């Protein structure tokens, strides 16, 4: 297993740094990512007798482009880091700032305290809402307690909230396409006054009891792509003729781009490793897309979760990462593969992302 740097050493960096990193990675040139420790580990697994060296197996690793951090995640992490710098530790974060244990542990080590309920936040303590957004009741509770709040809700999630509110104000019944229990869905349901109905599948659409002549509208969870929601939306449009929904361009660019990239990756590889957390909706979806393309696909948090038998017959291994997984964890997986053989790394050409979201006013100039 590759050893990870201690979380505090992780430089998750500002948006510009991440974009530069993505640009640098967008090359089809072979780009070895050697580390001394990985080579040492690999050497340690070789035959011990002098002159008995056996050739190590060779593997190609192809990285999807884009992969990993999106602009909303970069912004959320930067909000916590800047708040720690400006106000000093501790700062309180409601829910995991993004769904990645490594990121959360890194911020904990710097002085962030993660809580699930505002009741756990001491009076007067700086409080940050996670990238997934929160219900109005949470906003109101924080205001009632006069907690100083920094909102790390991704602007694209806020856009969904505002779109939903506009539809309801037009007198439409709102249908939210998403996964029950996901914090973003809980937040969206709790942001919109009026009738909001959650549907998770085409079967849910068939079971709806809203009369067919009702004016309805739909919005979607941001970590579902256009492709994910197409079937459900077609089913809704068949049932309801007076229906409106957001423009395609309103769907989260990062979700769509990462899914398109993993589909492309599936044409070139024997196995796909998705780096991401088990509770990350978009990472799970990336794994599913790989599997749907007929490629054995595995979701792993880092190199320690890589089972050698998954890759033992693979000549070409594809790697991607969910929107909340830092690049250092992708490198950790590559380091672990290097303990199994020689690795040649290249990156598929893919869409370049140059999106950055502004920080809250309180932190923009600190």
- Selection from 139, 241, 147 nearest residue 193 by Cα: 139
- Selection from 150, 111, 160 nearest residue 129 by Cα: 150
Strands 216-220 and 243-244: parallel
Nearer to ligand SF4, 186 or 335 (CB): 186
CB distance 328 to 5 below 8 Å: yes
Cis peptide before 66 (omega within 30 of 0): yes
Distance from C-alpha of 271 to C-alpha of 276, rounded to nearest angstrom = 16
CB distance 233 to 189 below 8 Å: no
Q: Is 146 left (phi over 0), alpha (psi -120 to 50) or beta?
A: left
- Which are the contacts of 169, defined by CB distance < 8 A and separation ≥ 6? none
Contacts of 13-16 with CB under 8 Å at 24 or more apart are 13/74, 14/74, 14/78, 15/71, 15/74, 15/75, 15/78, 15/356, 15/357, 16/356
CB distance 289 to 263 below 8 Å: yes
Nearer to ligand SF4, 172 or 258 (CB): 258
The least CB distance from residue 75 to ligand SF4, in Å, is: 8
The least CB distance from residue 252 to ligand SF4, in Å, is: 3
Tokens of 339: 């303990």
The least CB distance from residue 324 to ligand SF4, in Å, is: 8
Q: How far is CA 60 from the centre of its chain?
A: 25
Nearer to ligand SF4, 106 or 130 (CB): 130
Nearer to ligand SF4, 236 or 254 (CB): 254
Nearer to ligand SF4, 157 or 328 (CB): 157
Asked if 117 is an active-site residue, the reply is: no
Tokens of 294: 């007929």
Distance from C-alpha of 55 to C-alpha of 246, rounded to nearest angstrom = 56
Residue 301 backbone dihedrals phi, psi, to 5 degrees: -75, -35
β-sheet with 216-220: strand ranges across: 196-199, 173-177, 216-220, 243-244
The least CB distance from residue 223 to ligand SF4, in Å, is: 6
What is the number of the residue whose Cβ is closest to ligand SF4?
72
Nearer to ligand SF4, 255 or 297 (CB): 255
Nearer to ligand SF4, 100 or 223 (CB): 223
Q: Name the catalytic one among 184, 186, 327, 353.
A: 184
Residues that bind ligand SF4 (CB under 6 A): 70-73, 131, 154, 156-157, 222-223, 252, 254-255, 282, 323
The least CB distance from residue 253 to ligand SF4, in Å, is: 7
Task: Report, as residue numbers or ranges, the catalytic residues.
Answer: 184
């Amino acid at each position: 297993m590759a050893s990870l740097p201690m979380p505090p050493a992780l430089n998750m960096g500002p948006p510009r740094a991440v974009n530069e990193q993505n640009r640098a990675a967008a090359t089809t040139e072979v780009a070895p990512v050697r580390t001394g420790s990985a080579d040492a580990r690999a050497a340690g697994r070789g035959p011990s007798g002098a002159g008995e060296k056996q050739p190590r197996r060779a593997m190609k690793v192809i990285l999807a482009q884009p992969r990993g951090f999106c602009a909303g995640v970069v912004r959320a992490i930067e909000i916590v880091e800047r708040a720690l710098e400006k106000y000093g530790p501790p700062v309180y974060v409601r829910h995991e700032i993004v769904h990645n244990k490594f990121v959360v542990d890194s911020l904990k080590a710097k002085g962030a305290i993660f809580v699930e309920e505002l009741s756990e936040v001491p009076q007067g303590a700086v409080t940050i809402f996670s990238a997934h957004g929160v219900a109005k009741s949470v906003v109101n509770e924080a205001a009632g307690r006069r907690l100083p709040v920094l909102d790390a809700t991704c602007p694209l999630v806020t856009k969904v909230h505002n779109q939903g509110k506009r539809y309801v104000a037009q007198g439409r019944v709102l249908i939210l396409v998403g996964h029950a229990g996901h914090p973003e869905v809980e937040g969206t349901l709790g942001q919109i006054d009026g009738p909001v109905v959650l549907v998770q599948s085409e079967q849910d659409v068939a079971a709806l009891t809203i009369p067919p002549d009702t004016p309805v509208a739909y919005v979607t969870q941001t970590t579902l792509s256009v492709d994910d929601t197409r079937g459900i939306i077609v089913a809704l449009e068949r049932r309801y003729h007076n229906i409106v929904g957001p423009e395609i361009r309103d769907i989260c660019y990062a979700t769509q781009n990462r899914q398109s990239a993993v589909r492309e990756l599936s044409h070139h590889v024997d196995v796909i490793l998705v780096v991401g957390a088990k509770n990350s909706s978009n990472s799970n979806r990336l794994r599913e897309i790989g599997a749907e393309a007929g490629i054995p696909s595995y979701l792993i948090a880092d190199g320690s979760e890589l089972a050698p038998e998954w890759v033992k017959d693979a000549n070409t291994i594809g790697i991607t990462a969910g929107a909340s997984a830092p690049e250092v964890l992708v490198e950790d997986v590559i380091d672990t593969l290097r303990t199994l053989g020689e690795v040649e790394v290249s990156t598929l050409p893919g869409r370049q992302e140059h999106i950055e979201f502004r920080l809250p006013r309180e932190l923009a100039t600190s």
